[in-house]
């Protein structure tokens, strides 16, 4: 059983707040009866009509995708560019999913897709400080001092102080003048790592997210995906507490 406004929001008919307004205004019917009380519980067998439109209750889907570069982390694009949903739509036709957070067009690695709005909200709220680990190849031979600069914080986007929770030089390629860096961040600013590295004089050549909270890419090839287990979903919910 789930709250009516949550079911409506998860069906992508309206936001949670808009769903509550629709219920209060008498525009929602459950099994032919107008419902105006917020918090009313429904199940998958109930018929729900919102302003004359039937709500299709979908089961929760949770996918761990190994995103290739060249795909947008969005549900659609007005320029007809490829999105991450193009990678899964054949196996999940008609399932309305969306990416959790960002992984930009030129970046690769671990990205979650789901239709669970509650979990998405938990994973993307900044106060929950979800750890995201990246492997980053940058131009130039990085100085050890730069690692401390990343941990102290780098100002981006109109003086926002972006901080690396952890950072380390993994290897240096002097011949090709590049450095491989490992980083963990808990923030989710758009192109954050690229902007931090640019500010410090080490433009990013390629970037891969290898870990999200406790989840890794083990066993998932580039462009592939797998469903999360029930245990993993429960653990993701349980891990998200304010720090």
Distance CA 65, CA 104 (A): 14
Q: From the candidates 77, 86, 104, 157, give the one annotated as an active-site residue.
A: 104
The single residue listed with the structure tokens 């972006």 is 162
Active site residue 159: no
Reduce the secondary structure of 31-52 to three states and give it as a string: CCEECCCCCCEECCCCCEEECC
Cβ pair 185, 132 in contact under 8 A: yes
Contact 216, 226 (CB under 8 A): no
Q: Which residue has the tokens 């969005």?
A: 74
Contact (Cβ atoms closer than 8 angstroms) between residue 38 and residue 25: no
User: The dihedral of CA 59, 5, 86, 223: what is its sign?
Assistant: negative
**Active centre residues (catalytic):** 104
């Amino acid at each position: 059983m789930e709250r009516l406004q949550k079911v409506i929001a998860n069906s992508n008919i309206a936001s949670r707040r808009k769903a509550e307004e629709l219920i209060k205004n008498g525009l929602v019917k459950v099994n032919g009866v107008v419902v105006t009380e917020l918090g009313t519980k429904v199940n998958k067998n109930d018929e729900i009509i919102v302003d004359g439109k039937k709500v299709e209750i979908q089961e929760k889907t949770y996918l761990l995708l190994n995103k290739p570069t060249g795909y947008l982390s969005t549900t659609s694009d007005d320029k007809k560019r490829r999105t991450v949903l193009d990678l899964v739509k054949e196996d999940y036709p008609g399932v309305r999913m969306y990416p959790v957070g960002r992984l930009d067009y030129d970046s690769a690695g671990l990205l979650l897709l789901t239709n669970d709005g509650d979990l998405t909200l938990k994973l993307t709220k900044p106060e929950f400080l979800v750890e995201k680990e990246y492997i980053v190849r940058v131009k130039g031979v990085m100085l050890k001092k730069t690692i401390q600069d990343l941990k102290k914080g780098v100002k981006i986007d109109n003086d926002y102080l972006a901080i690396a929770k952890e950072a380390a030089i993994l290897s240096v390629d002097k011949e090709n003048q590049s450095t491989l860096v490992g980083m963990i961040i808990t923030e989710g600013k758009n192109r954050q790592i690229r902007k931090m590295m640019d500010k410090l004089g080490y433009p990013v050549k390629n970037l891969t997210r290898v870990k999200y909270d406790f989840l890794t890419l083990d066993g998932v090839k580039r462009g592939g995906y797998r469903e999360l287990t029930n245990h993993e979903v429960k653990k993701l919910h349980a891990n998200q507490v304010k720090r």
